[in-house]
Amino acid sequence: MSKYPPMVLNMAPLPDPVDAIPAATLSSYQPAALNAGSSLLMMQSVTVSFDGFKALNDLSFTVSEGELRAIIGPNGAGKTTFMDVVTGKTRPDQGRVIFGSTDVLRKSEAAIARLGIGRKFQRPTVFEHQSVFENLMMALANPRGPVAGIFYTLSRNDRRRVQDVAEQIHLQDVLHDPAGILSHGQKQWLEIGMLLAQEPKLLLVDEPAAGMTPAERERTVEILREVSQARSVVVIEHDMEFVRNLDCRVTVMHEGSVLAEGFIDHVVNNSEVIDVYLGR
């Protein structure tokens, strides 16, 4: 499956010229797996204050193209605030956020989404009365809202893509069921699928396993690992078994900064991590 042009079929508005990634970047774009190692998202000394309290405090780290990254850390560490900054919901007091070659902090939330950053919130927001297929179709047809999606005519290619996404999120057997009768876990997968339909280059997922059964968690690990074959994925999660199974680099946040980074065995054996987080 190719990632870039023709991007998001014909449903996404083309980026404003100022948002555009230089043509040279696009034309030299390699599938993520081949290009792993080059940086896609760079946080540089980002600080966010709320009434003088620093939710992010000089936060710096980098996510590579095609990388799956987990973020852990105690409550209030700033994990969700990090995602708020990347998506333009919260503006930092200082620091830089670079996505590809674009300075994200100069962009609106909508422009950031158009750059290819998809974010999944904790509570699923699927359309309960529409089928799985229709939910995916609407996401594919128009990332900006369901109304335009209703008036969109699916091409054969689009149907194929909806089918592909449904397979990726393991919902191909319930494609015509209303989303309202899905389990909590299946709704979460559907929402991931709705983001995938828009072909993000970076997918941000905040606590996907919360409220899931053990079997659903295992499947979510599988889905996220597969999804990250074609894009970068950042997952915030408290469930350590889940994070271990993701089998990826882990960034430990504490008090708005990076406390440790590395594979899970490395970070869980770090004495500072044990002190502030695991040893609570």
Ligand X SMILES: Nc1ncnc2c1ncn2[C@@H]1O[C@H](COP(=O)(O)OP(=O)(O)OP(=O)(O)O)[C@@H](O)[C@H]1O
- Of positions 27, 28, 75, 271, contacts ligand X by CB under 6 A: 75
Question: Please, which residue, 80 or 102, has the CB nearer to Mg ion?
Answer: 80
Q: Residue 152, Cβ neighbours under 10 Å: how many?
A: 16
- Measure the CA–CA gap between 169 and 203, rounded to whole angstroms: 14
Residue 131 is given by DSSP the state B
The residue count for the chain: 280
Residue 121 interface partner, choices Mg ion, ligand X, none, CB cut-off 5-8 Å depending on type: none
Q: Which of 127, 123, 122, 125 is nearest to 178 (CA)?
A: 127
Q: Is 211 in the site for ligand X (CB under 6 A)?
A: no
Q: Is 77 in the site for ligand X (CB under 6 A)?
A: yes
Query: Does residue 15 contact residue 201 with C-beta atoms inside 8 Å?
Result: no
Q: Is 250 in the site for ligand X (CB under 6 A)?
A: no
Residue 73 interface partner, choices ligand X, Mg ion, none, CB cut-off 5-8 Å depending on type: ligand X
Residue 50 interface partner, choices ligand X, Mg ion, none, CB cut-off 5-8 Å depending on type: ligand X
- Of positions 32, 46, 81, 141, contacts ligand X by CB under 6 A: 81
Query: Does residue 190 contact residue 169 with C-beta atoms inside 8 Å?
Result: yes
For the CB of residue 238, give the shortest distance to ligand X in the complex, in Å. Answer: 6
For the CB of residue 204, give the shortest distance to ligand X in the complex, in Å. Answer: 12
Stretch that binds Mg ion, among 74-82, 86-94, 209-217, 218-226 (CB under 5 A): 74-82
Q: Which of 250, 205, 248 is nearest to 225 (CA)?
A: 248
How far apart, in Å, are the Cα atoms of 230 and each of 171, 254, 260? 19, 30, 26
Query: Does residue 110 contact residue 142 with C-beta atoms inside 8 Å?
Result: no
Q: Which residues inside 76-115 make contact with Mg ion, applying CB under 5 A?
A: 79-80
31: alpha, beta or left, given left = phi > 0 and alpha = psi -120 to 50? beta
Q: Which residues on neighbouring strands pair with residue 257, listed in sequence order? A: 254
Query: Does residue 257 contact residue 247 with C-beta atoms inside 8 Å?
Result: no
Q: Is 252 in the site for ligand X (CB under 6 A)?
A: no
For the CB of residue 206, give the shortest distance to ligand X in the complex, in Å. Answer: 7
Q: Is 79 in the site for ligand X (CB under 6 A)?
A: yes
- Measure the CA–CA gap between 48 and 118, rounded to whole angstroms: 21
Number of residues that bind ligand X (CB under 6 A): 10
Residue 81 interface partner, choices Mg ion, ligand X, none, CB cut-off 5-8 Å depending on type: ligand X
For the CB of residue 202, give the shortest distance to ligand X in the complex, in Å. Answer: 18
Query: Does residue 209 contact residue 236 with C-beta atoms inside 8 Å?
Result: no
- Of positions 33, 38, 50, 222, contacts ligand X by CB under 6 A: 50
- Measure the CA–CA gap between 258 and 221, rounded to whole angstroms: 24
- Of positions 66, 78, 92, 149, contacts ligand X by CB under 6 A: 78
Q: Is 228 in the site for ligand X (CB under 6 A)?
A: no
Q: Which residues inside 53-72 make contact with ligand X, applying CB under 6 A?
A: 55
| Residues in contact with Mg ion by the rule CB under 5 A | 79-80
Residues that bind ligand X (CB under 6 A): 50, 55, 73, 75-81
